[in-house]
Amino acid sequence: MTNSRTSLRRAGIWLWILGLAFLYALHFVHLAADFPPRWTDASVLTDEGWYLNAATRHALGQPWYLPGDFNPAIVMPVWPAIAAVAFHVTGPGIVAARALALVLLAITLVCIALLVRRHAPLWVALLALSFVLASPFLFAFSRLALIEPLLLCLLAVAMLLADHISPVQSPARRWLLTACVGALLLLMLLTKLTALSLYPAVLYLLWHRLRASPRRVIASLVLVIAIVAVGYGLYRAAISATGFQSDFRYFFTSGDFGRPSTLKGWLINVKFAVTDLWWTSGWLAVLACVTVLTSLTAAMRVLWSDSLFVASLFLAVGTWAFVVVRAYHAPHYYLFTSVALAILVSLGVHAAFERTPPRYAASLVFVVAASLLFFVIRSVSLLRHPTYSFMNAAVSITSIVAHDPSSRPLLLAESGDQITLMTGQPSICDDFGATPLRDELRERDPGWFATFDAVNPETLAELHTRYHLQRVTVLPVSGDPGRAVLLFYRLVPPSQAETGVLLRSTTLKLYRRPPSSLPANP
């Protein structure tokens, strides 16, 4: 009987693993398709191209740095450096970039499984992976070539290494692991400064492993902090020495969209953050809240002695608080929060099985199974009717430019880097760049212009210093009401008539380039 149960349990575990492998494989289906329209995130039309523009230019045989344009690789060099290596093998392209993000997801999943397995049985680790792979939000955003999948991967590796450090290890091994944790935290900081909100989870695991010896704790934390501080300081010195300091400063000024100035504004900001947590994590957030509340009871208080539970709580609260403090509610910032919630819930389920009566455990199994089934159905439904409107728009623009040799081939567009990533069409950015747009227009002399829905008044004023706009076509690009179509224009001399210009009427400050110091030409 015992052998039969063991065989049945082993078969169930393998079936579970195969199911997870199938869910992971589904991530590769329709990689070039449009982002699901049920979520609104402007970054899916621009950010992949922006943060990979250095790697894309390098792969296309162009200089990775474009003076005066938007060069985020100066501030966040790790992701474009990794992508440049991958593009050397695969060639540039949106599918190659997103496939690379999914390779990083695979590494993340393995690290999460190993990390949870150190604190709980194998089935708990598989449950955590189930929540991660089944989540519709994580399914949609982990398929994008944003920076967050790489940052999540580095975080998972750092947490796993920190959890391996032990006072019983030889000093050489312990110092080596600690130095590796510091190096990973430095890489995370060079990947994106958002990493600062992830540090507490890693440092808590390190502290918990060495807490019996305060001297070792202090020495290890000093080493980690020294590696991060010295490494980042040397990188900043290199930036200054190579003349990129103005681009470095510009990146942070351009990304500052302001914060609430009144108590009412902050309360509204918190309300938005709570709403975002609901639509990004849904019932997973509810289950996590229930887990944290029940952990305060006598039966479940054992969870607080689990370092991974506390570290995951630090991760969930820290990343959510970062969004609140920054007051910029980009959905992809919640990637870390959702993963942390998945670990919290899985550890909570394990504790409930061990600490609560069987009738409660049975109810919990039903709730968890129903939630996972609901998540899987929603995730799979995202693949049922894919659209390729943005890819088709990029191909159409590239084709029009290629078949009109009378015009200059350079494209000016906010989404230009995204189009370059998709098709190789050379481009510069209209609203982001370290120099006034009219200066870059004079330097680059583009022949084409594309914009979402309407033309920014600031952009039009800069364009009118050298060109008039003649509309060529209107291309559908997304289900987002604010970016439903892409208006495509030919840039012609001011002596020619201007046609089809739709001017944006909004108080939103979209134009992020420095102001021009010279008056416009008449």
pLDDT per residue over 441-456, tens digit each?
Answer: 999 999 999 999 899 8
Average pLDDT over residues 370-378: 89
Q: What is the pLDDT of residue 521?
A: 46
Q: Taking 50 as the threshold, does the pLDDT of residue 177 lie above it?
A: yes
SS3 category, 314: helix
SS3 category, 449: strand
Q: Work out the percent of the chain whose per-residue pLDDT is above 70.
A: 95
Could you give the CA distance from residue 415 to residue 423 in angstroms, rounded to a whole number?
A: 12
For 282-295, b/e burial (b = at least 16 CB within 10 A) is bbbbbbbeebbebb
Phi, psi of 411, deg, nearest 5: -100, 135
pLDDT, one tens digit per residue, over 186-218 is 999 999 998 999 999 999 999 999 998 899 999
Q: How distant, in Å, are the alpha carbons of 133, 174, 217, 250, 327 from that of 161? A: 23, 10, 15, 35, 32
Q: Specify the higher pLDDT residue, 250 or 182.
A: 182
Q: What is the pLDDT of residue 332?
A: 82
Could you give the CA distance from residue 160 to residue 155 in angstroms, rounded to a whole number?
A: 9
Q: Taking 60 as the threshold, does the pLDDT of residue 518 lie above it?
A: no
**Cβ atoms of 124 and 348 closer than 8 Å:** no
